[in-house]
Amino acid sequence: MRKVVLVTGASSGLGLALCERLLEENDELHLCLACRNMAKAEGVRAQLLALHPRAEVTIVQVDVSNVRSVLRACQELKQRYQRLDYIYLNAGIMPNPQLNIKALFSGLFSRRVIHMFSTAEGLLTQEDKLTADGLQEVFETNVFGHFILIQELEALLCHGDSPSQVIWTSSRNAKKSNFSLEDFQHSKGQEPYSSSKYAMDLLSVALNRNFNQW
């Protein structure tokens, strides 16, 4: 029986590289590309099948920044599959950084000047916006949408005879200093990507404890 692997954000970047690597390791997988842009996903599917004709590659449309889209995709996946062996939560966004001029000049005359220029911490800020669901876009895309996905697909995971694996792509930019429980969506801050990745790390630990408590 083919192993079924679901990858979000599979049509470009790290997600696409991951799909290519998975099929290089095992070209008899059933790989499901969870993507927002269907035209792009179809092109990637054709590309993967040309290189790995023995594989089975399918597509499900999902926009993790939209709860309705996530729920619709989960319903479709539950109709297609009896189980999912691996889920790679890879989709995410990082707003284009902007130079914080005020922080630059204040940092020049502080003890943190070397740290500031070696890490760019505090120098670059990011602009976030609200989604149709009324949530901060970075938080919903990187954290909340994937959390809903896992909750909805729980019935396809963690079968006792052969446990599933959920892998959530983190980042070295995940910093505790940029995260606050009082503002977990980071609506008042200027580092939404870093905050979302730290929140994702916390949630990953909680989910791991929940799924492996038995």
Question: What is the structure's pLDDT at 101?
Answer: 57
Q: Give the residue from 88, 66, 90, 93 showing the smallest Cα distance to 193.
A: 93
Residues annotated as catalytic are: 193
Question: What is the structure's pLDDT at 191?
Answer: 87
Question: Would you place residue 173 in the very low, low, confident or very high pLDDT band (cuts 50, 70, 90)?
Answer: confident
Using CA atoms, how far apart are residues 214 and 211, in angstroms rounded to an integer?
Answer: 8
**Worst-scoring range by mean pLDDT, 77-81, 106-110, 141-145?**
106-110
Residues in the chain: 214
What is the pLDDT averaged over residues 179-206?
91
Beta-carbon contacts of 199 under 8 Å, excluding residues fewer than 6 positions away, are 139, 143, 179, 184
Question: Would you place residue 146 in the very low, low, confident or very high pLDDT band (cuts 50, 70, 90)?
Answer: very high
Question: Would you place residue 161 in the very low, low, confident or very high pLDDT band (cuts 50, 70, 90)?
Answer: confident
Helix 38-51 with 13-25: angle, nearest 10 deg: 30
Domains defined along the chain, listed by start? 62-95+136-177+192-212 (3.40.50.720)
Question: Would you place residue 174 in the very low, low, confident or very high pLDDT band (cuts 50, 70, 90)?
Answer: confident
Question: Would you place residue 147 in the very low, low, confident or very high pLDDT band (cuts 50, 70, 90)?
Answer: very high
Q: Are 70 and 149 in contact (CB under 8 A)?
A: yes
Strand stretches in the chain, DSSP E: 4-8, 30-35, 56-61, 86-89, 97-99, 124-126, 165-168
What is the pLDDT averaged over residues 3-30?
95
**Structure tokens belonging to residue 138:** 């970075």
Q: Is the pLDDT of residue 19 over 90?
A: yes
Q: Could you tell me what percent of the chain has a pLDDT over 90?
A: 65
DSSP state of 10: T
Q: What is the pTM of this model?
A: 0.84
Q: Are 103 and 58 in contact (CB under 8 A)?
A: no
**Worst-scoring range by mean pLDDT, 41-45, 96-100, 157-161, 203-207?**
96-100
What is the pLDDT averaged over residues 45-54?
96
What is the pLDDT averaged over residues 80-84?
94
